[in-house]
Structure 1
Amino acid sequence: MQTNLADFIRDTHEGKEAEAILRSCVHCGFCTATCPTYQLLGDELDGPRGRIYLIKQVLEGKAATAKTQSHLDRCLTCRNCESTCPSGVQYGRLVDIGRKIVEDQVPRPLAQRVARTTLKTLLPNKWLFNPAMKAGQALRPLLPQALKNKVPPKQNAGIWPSRTHTRKMLLLDGCVQPAMSPNINSATARVLDALEVELIVPPKAGCCGAIRYHLNDHDGGLNDMRRNIDAWWPYVDGSAGSKVEAIVMNASGCGATVKEYGHLLMHDPLYAEKAREISALTRDISEILPAFEAELQTRLKGKINKRVAYHPPCTLQHGQKIRGQVEGILRHAGVDVQLCADSHLCCGSAGTYSVLQPDLSYQLRDNKLRNLQATAPQEIVSGNIGCLTHLQSGTQTPVRHWIELLDEALRH
């Protein structure tokens, strides 16, 4: 794709990256066929190819409009298009760059500004979000359905293992997961403890940065990333007492972002090298457990006699390019695990998308649930807190993290 970037962006790091991405696109349109929003709306500008054209126009100096902003807002950033693209177009990075430029050019209506400011202030801050979630759970029966969908019933966190082990790994606690579904982190710690690996949660680590960054607050998101690097570094270089061998992620949205720290901070002279090492150490829990496959198979044999439907989060299968790992782990543990039709498509959660684009989000949720229910599951499992909460809001079938399934079996 031929480009002629405008002066305001041409010689910047973002401009050079965007130009390289644009030039790799050959207009083939394969991406359109797998774009969830295009499938719902049938508008070329609500598919990746159309959005690429809109971003190209803005980068070449054409003034962005509210319509431009709306088409970019409706993108889920599921990155399904990247999995489909034969040319390797890094669409996710391009849309981040394009959205930020459009955000700076197009003033949003007051209601949108309030909603987005609330989300990027509330969600990444545990000291705000945790009490808000507790209040919501206490009042849950009285909440309107739209709010109730975002407030899961109160869950017992379970016991965090107290044993110490020679092998140690870090765990990103996350910003919303400890309040919404605290058993996920405890279950992860218990499973690894059973395999003689100790999980450490540095208290000063917090939001991975995805929430602010994808709401076009790039500075705020990058600062979240720097804070995490500072919190983790003593455990990475060994100055905290012992070196960890990995940074474990059990929320695939966080994992996809942390694995990109090295790229996002590559031009920061103080953090570039550390960010690269942090990204290299980061592993989804599904990348950790295959090394223990034989032991898990022996200890779990015959313990999980149920049929589950697995929903692969977009941030795992398209963002991190991890496919087949979770299904393999579960099947080796004796689980009857099924993938539904169109398992490559987004469930509609997509971080804050379900709040900001509810109509599209709930259409995608209902489509996904129909396909999942068609497999006749006793449970639905996934690997990202947003997907879990979003799917559970539309079904009576239990929805939980797949690591909780293994944890429950290991304890019985």
Structure 2
Amino acid sequence: MKTEFTPTQLADPDIGEANTILRKCVHCGFCTATCPTYVLLGDELDSPRGRIYLIKEMLEKDQKPTAEVVKHIDRCLSCLACMTTCPSGVNYMHLIDQARVRVEEHYTRPLADRLIRAMLAYVLPRPGLFRMGMMAARLAKPFVGLLPGSAKPSHPPTVFDRMRAMLALAPGALPPPGPAGGSVFPAQGTRKGRVALLQGCAQQVLGPNINQAAIRLLTRLGIEVVLVADEQCCGSLTHHMGHDDDALRRARANIDVWVREADAKGLDAILVTTSGCGTTIKDYGYLLREDKAYAEKAARISSLARDITEYIGTLDVQWPQPKSEIVVAYHSACSLQHGQKIRELPKELLSKSGFVVKDIPEGHLCCGSAGTYNILQPEIARRLRERKVANIASVKPDIVSAGNIGCMVQIGSELKNAEGAPIPVVHTIELLDWMTGGPSPHNAMPQDK
């Protein structure tokens, strides 16, 4: 793609990076076939190629974002399927994130939109507040029918559409909190390694059992696990909302506490059980590349970051010899398969642990969760969820395995078998823990199927 940035513009490191990304795009259109919004809506401007053109015009002409441009940027899920498909290596992730920052800095959204975005950006990264919000949502859920009607699919979502989406996703009950930051879990037997485990934000509230399963499995395998004190949200949520100051502040705070822990007692890895967080932490080195005080430390932390399945794959695990007949449909979270390029390893681990593993048709397409997307774009998210649920049901699984809490909540809210009973959606690490001596996940089927 030809660009015409001025030398003054190119002196800005972000514009220089955008120019490099844009020039790699050859308009081939391969990305349109795997873009969920283009597949659903059929609008060129809701494809990566179309958005790239809009972003180029906005940046090159130094224009303020228009409502039309913002609409199409907001509709992007950041699923990154386009990056997996692109033969030219266009780093769409960094381009769309830069566009979102520009939108937040130079576009004034309607008041209701600003308020709900501010609320999400403030509450979700704070587990204590988020837990209180989920408790309030549980009380409000019976009254959702009193909200005004939905907007037409062709219209922007209203505040009431978004409130309905939030209430629909709220669980009926919350599990008790997991262990606090600063906790250390010694290895069983001879210690073979030491890792930090990201505590997460929403996952602390919605699925603390996930990290508890990871701790059980890791310590059985001789790995000491630490939940580092003073750890914060990784910054992923606010980063993808264009709130870069908040996201980078959180990244720096985490880098400081993780470097301190690594220097004091050593860390072989920083493990992540929420793949959306993992994609962002692995990108800290890029995000802070211009920060002289943090660039080197950020790159060090990114190099230590591992998805939990990546690390388990390096360990000597004694997998069970008897094979089960439990059929597991593996849902590959976008942030794992497209963001981190981890596609086959989780399925291989599940298969080794004894499950019958099945791929899901259209597995490259997003389920519609995408951080806050299923709240901010509820109609598109609903259609993507229905498509994903239908594809999962077609393989007739006993259990669905995933590596991201957002996907688990999104899919699990609607997934049922032919008899109308809910199909359990659990984290991959919970199944690996179960098959190597841990307890059955709380909502999984009995082991002796």
TM range (shorter): over 0.9
Give 1:303 shift: 6.6
2:438 is aligned with 1:411: yes
Q: What is the aligned counterpart of 1:256 among 255, 266, 279?
A: 279
2:59 is aligned with 1:37: no
Q: What is the aligned counterpart of 1:225 among 251, 254, 277?
A: 251
Aligned partner of 2:186 in structure 1 is: 163
Determine if contact 2:165/2:375 at 8 Å carries over to the other structure: no
3-state SS, counterpart of residue 405 of structure 1: helix
Written as runs of structure 1 = structure 2, the 5 A alignment for 1:137-152 is 137=138, 139=139, 142=142, 144=144, 146-152=165-171
Aligned partner of 1:186 in structure 2 is: 212
User: What one-letter code is carried by the residue in structure 2 that aligns with 1:127?
Assistant: G
Give 1:171 shift: 0.6
Aligned partner of 1:348 in structure 2 is: 368
Cα deviation code 1:102-147 (max 9, x no counterpart):
332321011110111011000112231133234445x376363634
Q: What is the aligned counterpart of 1:382 among 383, 399, 402?
A: 402
* Residues 359 and 9 of structure 1: CA distance in aligned 2, closer, same or farther (over 3 Å): farther
* Residues 8 and 179 of structure 1: CA distance in aligned 2, closer, same or farther (over 3 Å): farther
User: What one-letter code is carried by the residue in structure 1 that aligns with 2:278?
Assistant: G
2:21 is aligned with 1:21: yes
Identity score, percent: 44
Q: TM-score, with normalisation over the residues of structure 2?
A: 0.86
User: What one-letter code is carried by the residue in structure 2 that aligns with 1:170?
Assistant: A
Determine if contact 1:309/1:379 at 8 Å carries over to the other structure: yes
Determine if contact 1:122/1:128 at 8 Å carries over to the other structure: yes
Determine if contact 2:165/2:374 at 8 Å carries over to the other structure: no
3-state SS, counterpart of residue 286 of structure 1: helix
CA distance in 1, matches of 2:323, 2:432: 9
Aligned partner of 1:318 in structure 2 is: 338
2:299 is aligned with 1:276: yes
Q: What is the aligned counterpart of 1:393 among 413, 424, 444?
A: 413
Determine if contact 1:161/1:189 at 8 Å carries over to the other structure: no
Q: What is the aligned counterpart of 1:296 among 293, 318, 330?
A: 318
User: What one-letter code is carried by the residue in structure 2 that aligns with 1:359?
Assistant: E
Determine if contact 1:69/1:103 at 8 Å carries over to the other structure: no
Structure 1: 5+ residue stretches without partners: none
CA distance in 2, matches of 1:151, 1:46: 29
Determine if contact 1:251/1:383 at 8 Å carries over to the other structure: yes
Determine if contact 1:149/1:389 at 8 Å carries over to the other structure: no
Give 1:7 shift: 7.4
Structure 2: 5+ residue stretches without partners: 145-163, 416-421, 440-449
CA distance in 1, matches of 2:136, 2:8: 46
User: What one-letter code is carried by the residue in structure 2 that aligns with 1:40?
Assistant: L
**357-366 vs 195-204, which deviates more?**
195-204
Q: CA RMSD in A?
A: 1.9
Determine if contact 1:9/1:59 at 8 Å carries over to the other structure: no
Determine if contact 2:141/2:168 at 8 Å carries over to the other structure: no
3-state SS, counterpart of residue 343 of structure 1: coil
Determine if contact 1:172/1:206 at 8 Å carries over to the other structure: no
* Residues 260 and 219 of structure 1: CA distance in aligned 2, closer, same or farther (over 3 Å): same
3-state SS, counterpart of residue 309 of structure 1: strand
Aligned partner of 1:120 in structure 2 is: 121
**200-209 vs 159-168, which deviates more?**
159-168
User: What one-letter code is carried by the residue in structure 1 that aligns with 2:203?
Assistant: Q
* Residues 376 and 157 of structure 1: CA distance in aligned 2, closer, same or farther (over 3 Å): farther
CA distance in 1, matches of 2:253, 2:220: 31
CA distance in 1, matches of 2:378, 2:368: 9
User: What one-letter code is carried by the residue in structure 1 that aligns with 2:102?
Assistant: I
CA distance in 2, matches of 1:356, 1:48: 19
Q: What is the aligned counterpart of 1:198 among 203, 210, 224?
A: 224
Aligned partner of 1:329 in structure 2 is: 349
Aligned partner of 1:177 in structure 2 is: 203
**100-109 vs 190-199, which deviates more?**
100-109
How many aligned residue pairs are there?
A: 405
Determine if contact 1:30/1:84 at 8 Å carries over to the other structure: yes
2:262 is aligned with 1:236: yes
User: What one-letter code is carried by the residue in structure 2 that aligns with 1:233?
Assistant: V
**142-151 vs 177-186, which deviates more?**
142-151
Give 1:161 shift: 8.6
Cα deviation code 1:218-245 (max 9, x no counterpart):
11100010111111112222x2xx2010
